[in-house]
A and B are shown apart, each in its own frame.
Chain A
Amino acid sequence: MRVRTPLLAAAIVAAALPSACGGGDDLEGGDLAWVRDPKVFREPDLPRDRVLVGTVRNDSLRRMKVVAADVRAVDADGKALRGNATFVKGYIHALYPPTRPPPGGLPESELERLGKEVRLDPGGTAPLSIAWRVPRGAEGPVRIDYGAGFLPIPGR
């Protein structure tokens, strides 16, 4: 027998924009594009946080490297909101304890495994998850800045 759980799964708070996949959006510029409509989620107990989950594609003709730390949700003034991004599509864990990195720092393979960076051949794709926190009384972000360009945020 089961009863209704007091906790509900995270709610989808915004649907994807059909325009999100194509070019021409003035909030999209650069070589990365959403493969399909990403989704934005919100945890009930984190009302100011949003988590966007999608897949990006390298639409350029050259190999790209994108660093997760450079991927930020930014507001209309171009200011980055507090947040984090990762190129993984499920929960993972670091091999090395965070306070005990190997000599010389994490190897490239571990940085990629952890979703801290990604290398994409032309046409290559990768999962991308971005979380941001909207400051009290502020508007949400208007786009995703990944350093070398922008991605639109669906539902805006």
Chain B
Amino acid sequence: MRWLTAPLVLLVLAIIVPASAFGHAERWSYFPNHKAGKVPKYKKSGPSLVVCKPDSRKLIRQISTSSKKSKAARRKSLALLPRCKYRHIQAAVNAAKNGTRILILPGTYKEEPSRAVANDDGDCTGDEYQAEEPATKSYKFQRDCPNSQNLIAITGDDDDPDRRCDDKCNLQIEGTGARPSDVKVVGGGYGLRPGAKLNVFRADRADGIYFRNFLVQYSDFNNIYVLETNGFRVEDVVSRWSREYGVLSFTSDNGLYNRVKAYGAGDSGIYPGSGPEGHCKRYGIEVSHSESFGNTIGWSGTAGNGVYTHDSKFHHNSAGITMDSFASGHPGMPQDCSKWERNRIYSNNADLFNSKRDAYCQNTPNEERDPRKVCPTFQVPVGTGILTGGGNGNIFKKNWIYDNWRRGTMLFWVPAEIRGTDPTGQSAKPSTYDTSHENKYVGNRMGIRPDGRRAPNGVDFWWDEGGRGNCWSKNKGIRSGGAFTSDPLKLFPCPGGSPDRTGSSAKFAELIPCSTWDPQTNPDPVGCNWFTRPSKPR
């Protein structure tokens, strides 16, 4: 296959790329054995520890009694109050054994003892704490110095070499309020701000972890970070204002994001990256009834494999959804086999790359920034619903995709060589044109709201015209007879789809300059129109 009219000889890339995760250097990470884990179920009984604040009683009494649910939460919280022994969540985690429920009474939890720990804890320096990559922290580091990078750390693996949870497994960390915002877990903010931590919660080899019913904010990277964990559940959680990600899982399996609301992330609100390796035989992570808005991206996942996202809403981001094979350091490459069904992906036109915002983000040190003002850390084509940049075997079915002023969907190839070799051996060997193939867009409603009102996308379907087996069937638009718009005009029906071929060089000419984006040095690359919000289509 050839992309340009003239064959391009590959850039010689005998490069072992840094073993890193999702944008900051991370130790080499490995998928758990999915057969040995499962999505945790809610536990109503069993051993529990209670965490509270001095004002918890007052806050509990302020809980409304107008509904049955809030009345029950009030009653339960008051009953738990006498059992409260901990003022900080980390303290309760430290005391917990496998299967413990950690019940957090209404209040604001800043975790002051954790904030006081230096970000490079002197107790944990030395060769024995070096991970495989320089400047990354080993699991042992996280285990021995849990609050160096994390406000609250749940590290479940002991000293054995199996990378499986031994203690701190199956913890249920749960707010007892009537709604998530009754329990606020607050990070120290961004950059060099005293007490700032990369992660508010870190669940590392913490199989069976269950986060429920609280609000979390102000991480310097991830509000909730789930790594190398077999079985996790994030439910009724609100994540807001994080410098990079809201809720992020990585090389984890048997996961569920349920009723998660995420907003204000500099990258994405929800990130199931380096997703489970089901290879279209199973979905290992489910995102259900969630909502992500006001982020640079609503949902993203480099190597976001095997994720089933349904009945959720992604709106008012700069881009609604991106899944890709763009970057190195993500086991499970290339991206494949995620499914999107019955979601609403709309109005993703947030103008976060304008000159005024660029200037603010360039000129304000991270620690002095208003954390509620999103500074993008990832470049996206503003006004796009779903972007697939190097992905295979994904299914987009019966979604409502509307009011995305540039494009409803984008599908294009990413050259495999840029990924480099996965030093963990968990990715396919790069082969230049190993994306984007076998993606199916079926039965989607384009440019129309569920209530029937017209809300056109700039173009409904944009495709670089490359890859085999990509197909579009039974989609309906707002033009005469249910027609939709597309670029190119000719799309291929399912099954069968497109013949095996390379994409349009003209379309790649649009994409390539956008790679040079840098918020500090090149916020508006010449030749790239991604960062100007398109005008509203008629």
**Could you tell me which A residues sit within 8 Å of B by CB distance?**
1-12, 35-37, 39, 41, 43, 45-46, 49-51, 53, 55, 68, 82-100, 102-103, 107, 109-110, 112-115, 118, 121, 124-127, 129, 131-133
9 closest Cβ contacts across the A-B interface? A131-B527, A36-B6, A93-B326, A41-B509, A91-B511, A1-B483, A125-B9, A90-B415, A84-B516
**What is the total number of residues of chain B having a CB less than 8 Å from a CB of chain A?**
78
B378 touching A90 by the CB < 8 A rule? no
Q: How many A-B residue pairs have CB under 8 A?
A: 218
Cβ-defined contact, B526 with A82, below 8 A: yes
Task: Return the chain B residue nearest A82 by Cβ.
Answer: B526
Query: Are A92 and B526 touching (Cβ within 8 A)?
Result: no
From A114, which residue of chain B is reached at the shortest CB distance? B515
Q: Are B11 and A127 in contact (CB under 8 A)?
A: yes
Q: Are B519 and A99 in contact (CB under 8 A)?
A: yes
B518 contacts chain A at the CB level, 8 A cutoff? yes
Give chain B's interface residues, CB within 8 Å of chain A: 3-9, 11-13, 15-18, 20, 23-25, 135, 244, 267, 302, 324, 326-329, 366, 375, 377-379, 389, 412-415, 418, 420, 458-459, 477, 479-491, 504-516, 518-520, 522, 525-529, 537
Find out whether the CB atom of B491 lies under 8 angstroms from the CB atom of A84: no
Chain B residues contacting A113 (CB-CB under 8 Å) are: 13, 15, 17, 328, 418, 420
Flag if A3 contacts B11 (CB, 8 Å): no
Of A6, A10, A115, which is within 8 A of B510 by CB? A10
A55 pairs with B326, CB closer than 8 A? no
Partner of B507, one of A10, A118, A126, A127: A10
Docked complex Cα distance between A98 and B505 (Å): 27
Partner of A5, one of B328, B418, B420, B487: B487
| Chain A hits for B25, CB < 8 A | 96, 102
Contacts of A126 in B (CB 8 A): 11
Q: Give B456 Cβ to nearest chain A Cβ, in Å.
A: 10
List 19 additional contacts besides A2-B485, A93-B378; criterion CB under 8 Å: A1-B479, A2-B484, A7-B458, A39-B505, A46-B527, A46-B529, A53-B505, A86-B512, A88-B11, A91-B414, A91-B512, A95-B23, A97-B377, A100-B24, A103-B135, A107-B18, A118-B11, A127-B8, A129-B513
Contact B414 A9 (CB under 8 A): no
A-B contact pairs, 16 of them (CB 8 A): A5-B459, A9-B510, A10-B509, A43-B527, A55-B9, A84-B516, A86-B512, A91-B512, A93-B378, A95-B20, A99-B366, A100-B23, A109-B420, A124-B12, A131-B516, A132-B527
Q: Contact check: which of A3, A53, A82 meets B4 at CB < 8 Å? A: A53
Chain A residues positioned under 8 Å from B458 (CB to CB): 6-7
Given contacts A5-B459, A89-B11, A112-B13, are A55 and B6 in contact (CB under 8 A)? Answer: yes
B528: chain A residues at CB < 8 Å are: 131
| Contact B23 A96, beta carbon cutoff 8 Å | yes
Enumerate chain A residues within 8 angstroms of B511, measured Cβ to Cβ.
Answer: 90-91
| Residue in contact with B513 in the complex, picked from A4, A103, A131, CB distance below 8 Å | A131
CB-based contact A53/B509 at 8 Å: yes
B418 touches A88 (CB 8 A): yes
Nearest CB in chain B: distance from A66 CB, A: 12
Complex contacts, B515 vs chain A, CB 8 Å? 86, 88, 91-93, 114-115
Distance between A41 CB and nearest chain B CB, rounded to angstroms: 4
User: A12, A39, A132 — which one has the most chain B CB atoms within 10 A of its CB?
Assistant: A39
Q: B526 contacts which of A39, A118, A133 (Cβ < 8 Å)?
A: A133
Nearest-neighbour CB distance to chain A for B13, whole angstroms, equals 7
Q: Is the CB of A5 within 8 A of B481?
A: no
With a CB–CB cut-off of 8 A, which chain B residues contact A133? 526-527
